[in-house]
Amino acid sequence: MSTAKSGQVGRGGTSSDRYMNTAKSGQVGRGGTSSKEPQRKYTSRGKKMIVELKFMYILVRGEEWDDTFNEELFVKPFDSGQALFHFQFTTLWNASTAEPDSFTHYRLFPKALGDVLVKYQVQELHLSLTQGLWRYEKWGYPPVDAPPGVELWVWFLPTASNIDKTWSDLVNALSGLFCASLNFMDGKSTVLPRWSFRPMGLASEYYSFDSRFMRYSALPKEIVCTENLTPWKKLLPCASKVGLATLLNAMKLYDSYYSSLGIHVRPVCRMETCTEQSIELKQTLSVVFDPTISSNGQQNWQLRSLFGQPLSSQCPLASISKVYLDKTQLQSTDATVTLYPEPDEVMNFTRGGEKLTYAVWDIGRQISQHQQLNLALHYNRKIHFGEINPPPVYAQRFITGFGLEKGGITSIIYNNLDTNLTAIYMETIPWFLRLYFSSITITNHGIRVKPYKIHYIPGKDRTRQYQLELVFRLRPHSITKISMQFERAFLKWTEYPPDANHGFYVNSAIISTVLPNAYNYTACPQTSSVFGDSIRDNSTEFFLRLHTETLLVSLPTPDFSMPYNVICLACTVVAIAFGSIHNLTTRRFIAVDPDKKTGLIQKIKDKFRRKKTEEKVPELKASESIDQTKSDIKTKKEEENGKKKGIVVQKLDG
């Protein structure tokens, strides 16, 4: 709001202020004249233009209060040595997808996304594109939880008709907008969760429990890269030219342990009475770095070494531009920790029973004083990290069994709290893993647990995947195991991917529960749009959603090299047969004297006399016999010998 009051209202606000200044001074472009000129000329054109500019100014100044933009960065060093950097860009707009007429004039809200929301009647949209796996045991809970790959879940307006067709069109539109393979989210990978997902924004109670308007899908194999980051940055009001977005260097972000992009759209209350609603767009990016890798083995880090450059600008359209650093874990180390530059404010507060300490930097103030903000953390000596305390609730998941006929899936959920928790467990299993419903068991320390509710939809070959939702209790300080068995199906040879021997991915399992405290909890309050409001969060319950590991399953795979072997064998046979026939039909046979000397000298002479020999000796047809040629030569020799004998007899008689 401060930037709006100062006249920094994007291009429209800046131009309107300039027009007002020129109008007051009497310089109104070519059509206007100065105050020294006759009044007759001023009133003929200048007065009309002044009225028009005043009207434009009123419109712009009226629109500037309809939307706000905030940029925030949250930094948390972990006990394992890594560090989390969570970027959050929030846009609030006094508009509603239920009223398409309100989406007429775009200023800060991206038009490309707004048109998609209105056309496909979307009330809430949550999209995440993640590379890597979040380590709950070492890092606690992320600000925004997401599974590896791509996850999308959408709530449509109650007025939407033919939701399946609308969902298909929506994923194709988002696929082109974010350069991702969302078009593969068809009926074979889409489900309707009953209990696991509820609207995160403003919604009625009846609407929240009607899962007909909700669709969920995930692609665990999707690869996230710079082609997804680029369109994501273009949705920001300042793009990546100024502000915190200048730190988003793709070469650095995707050279990390974990990186996750997020787009979250939901309706929120415009005022405390909640008589009107606004739309909230929250763009999040979480990245986990290991400073020892980027700093040549040193545990110290700074923005320049992690992101390639310091922060040297502030988005002029942002009402809030701040950096928060969680110092809570740093105070428990034996080494002395130095932060540079000195924070503008250090805040000690309690959230959900946990005492926290945040260091806060105002980006605008730091840049005005130091020309840039190169946040750095320095240890006075090398730190040896010890045992890490796990979070209150976390889970593990893996494949069981052997061979390529049958197998199983086992999930283990740990509850380290001293209270009972009600959890919702959701599984989506591909159709080619034929799940046995009778094999689903829940045990706790060897004792079988009976779930409160079960929602099961069997899969259908090449049409629908298996869907399972369980509601059960997690006992205090216990380990709960969920296991199930499946049978592998045979696929058609055209259904195998190019890397068939790599295996097939299975979606992450989703666990939803409510925590009584905020230990290792870093998410933004659900009732707030700004990350800084977590400092003033007085909630007593904290909603938690976990995603387990994705699974890689091997299926019976045919020998795809066999067609290659058959082709090679067939080509070899054809080549041999064709070569023999070709030689017999095209080779020329030449008469050769068998008594002819075949010594080395003779061969050399024959080589030089080959042309002459070919001219003298007639060519024979292929049907003539070689034996007949030999007999003719023998007859000629006998005649020559007879002549010689006759000459000798005549000499003797004489």
How high is the pLDDT of residue 8? 34
State residue 630's pLDDT score.
56
Within 10 A of 137 (CB to CB), how many other CB atoms are there?
13
Q: With DSSP H G I counted as helix, E B as strand and the rest as coil, what are the percentages for the chain, rounded to 5?
A: 30, 30, 40
Strand order of the sheet with strand 337-340?
301-302, 376-379, 337-340
% of the chain residues with pLDDT over 90? 55
Distance (Å, rounded) from C-alpha 450 to C-alpha 453?
9
pLDDT at residue 273, as a whole number:
83
pTM: 0.78
Average pLDDT over residues 592-608: 70
Residue 14 in this model has a pLDDT that exceeds 80: no
Q: Which two tokens stand for residue 35?
A: 């105050």
- Which pLDDT band, with edges at 50, 70 and 90, does 57 fall under? very low
132: left (phi over 0), alpha (psi -120 to 50) or beta: left
* Least confident among 114-128, 217-231, 345-359, 609-623: 609-623
Place of tokens 């034929």: 434
Among the residue ranges 126-140, 419-433, 526-540, the one predicted with the least confidence is: 526-540
pLDDT, mean over the chain: 83
Question: Of the ranges 328-332, 406-410, 533-537, 576-580, which one carries the lowest mean pLDDT score?
Answer: 328-332
Cα–Cα distance measured from residue 118 to residue 93, given in angstroms and rounded to the nearest whole number: 14
pLDDT tens digits for range 96-131: 888 888 888 889 999 999 999 999 999 999 999 999
Tell me, rounded to whole angstroms, the distance of Cα 209 from its chain centroid.
30
Q: Where are the domains of the chain?
A: 2-63, 67-392+514-552, 600-653
Q: Spell out the residues 6+ positions from residue 247 whose beta carbon is closer than 8 angstroms to its own.
A: 87, 303, 307, 309, 311
Task: Determine the pLDDT at residue 96.
Answer: 86
CA 401, CA 395: separation in Å to the nearest integer? 20
Using DSSP, state whether 617 is helix, strand or coil. Answer: coil
Q: What is the pLDDT of residue 343?
A: 92
The per-residue pLDDT for 600 is 73
Tell me what the mean pLDDT of segment 550-555 comes to: 94
- Sequence letter at residue 461: D
DSSP β-bridge partners for residue 422: 473
| pLDDT at residue 623, as a whole number | 45
| Chain segment 301-351, per-residue pLDDT in tens | 999 989 989 999 999 999 999 999 999 888 777 778 889 999 999 999 999
Is the link from the previous residue into 341 a cis peptide, with omega within 30 of 0? Answer: yes
pLDDT of residue 65: 56
CA-CA-CA-CA torsion sign (564, 568, 574, 577): negative
Mean pLDDT (whole number) for 288-308: 84
- For 364-368, the CB contacts below 8 A with 24+ separation are 364/314, 364/321, 366/341, 367/311, 367/312, 367/313, 367/314
